[in-house]
Amino acid sequence: MSRRRPPEQGFRCFDQLPATIERLLTGATTGPALDEPLLRERFARVALVYLDAFGWTFLERQGSHPLLRRAHSDGLVVQLTSQFPSTTTAHVTTIHSGLPVAEHGVYEWHVLEPTLNRLITPLLFSFSGDSERETLAGLLNPEDIYPAESLHARLAEAGVRSSVALPAAIAHASPNRVLLRGSDVLPFSAPEEGLAAAAAALAATDNAHAHVYLDEVDALMHAVGPDDRAADVAFAEALTAIERAPFSPGTLVLLTADHGMSPVDPARGVYVNHIWPELAAHLETGADGKPLAPAGSCRDLFLHVRDGHVDEVRDRLGDRLDGVADVVTAETLVADGIFTEPSLRLQTRLGDVVVLPRYGEAVYWHEPGRFVQHLHGQHGGLSPQEMEIPLLAWVA
> Do 182 and 59 have their domain in common?
yes
- Integer Cα distance of 94 and 97 in angstroms: 5
- Identify whether 129 is part of a domain: no
Q: pTM for this one?
A: 0.97
> Do 193 and 337 have their domain in common?
no
- Integer Cα distance of 223 and 377 in angstroms: 7
Number of domains forming the structure of the chain: 2
> Do 323 and 259 have their domain in common?
no
Q: Residues 287, 118: contact at Cβ < 8 Å?
A: yes
> Do 321 and 180 have their domain in common?
no
Sequential DSSP letters for 38-101: TTTS--SEEEEEEETT--HHHHHHTTTSHHHHHHHHHSEEEEEE--SS--HHHHHHHHHH---H
> Do 301 and 239 have their domain in common?
no
> Do 216 and 235 have their domain in common?
yes
Q: Residues 200, 245: contact at Cβ < 8 Å?
A: no
Cis peptide upstream of residue 294 (ω within 30 degrees of 0)? yes
Average pLDDT, the chain: 97
- Identify whether 244 is part of a domain: yes
- Identify whether 134 is part of a domain: no
Judge whether residue 331 has pLDDT over 80. yes
Strand 111-113 versus strand 126-127 pairing type:
unpaired
pLDDT at 121: 98
- Identify whether 112 is part of a domain: no
> Do 36 and 181 have their domain in common?
yes
Instruction: Give the model confidence (pLDDT) of 223-279 as tens digits.
Output: 999 999 999 999 999 999 999 999 999 999 999 999 999 999 999 999 999 999 999
- Integer Cα distance of 185 and 276 in angstroms: 47
> Do 282 and 354 have their domain in common?
yes
> Do 178 and 256 have their domain in common?
yes
- The SS3 assignment for 168 reads helix
- Identify whether 43 is part of a domain: yes
Q: Which CATH number is 318's domain given? A: 3.30.1360
Alpha helices in the chain (DSSP H): 17-26, 56-61, 66-74, 88-97, 101-104, 151-157, 168-171, 174-179, 191-203, 216-224, 229-243, 272-275, 310-320, 330-335, 344-347, 384-387
Q: Residues 269, 298: contact at Cβ < 8 Å?
A: yes
Q: The domain containing residue 343 runs over which residues?
A: 270-374
> Do 293 and 185 have their domain in common?
no
> Do 274 and 198 have their domain in common?
no
- Integer Cα distance of 377 and 219 in angstroms: 9
pLDDT at 3: 86
Confidence of residue 10 (pLDDT cuts 50, 70, 90): confident
> Do 206 and 312 have their domain in common?
no
Judge whether residue 356 has pLDDT over 90. yes
Confidence of residue 1 (pLDDT cuts 50, 70, 90): low
- Integer Cα distance of 282 and 312 in angstroms: 9
Distance of CA 99 to the CA centre of its chain: 13
Q: Which CATH number is 210's domain given? A: 3.40.720.10
Q: Which residues are within 8 A (CB) of 139 and not within 5 positions of it... i.e. 6 or more apart?
A: 116
Exposure of 370 by Cβ count < 10 A (0-12 exposed, 13-18 middle, 19+ buried)? Answer: middle
- Integer Cα distance of 227 and 218 in angstroms: 12
pLDDT at 103: 97
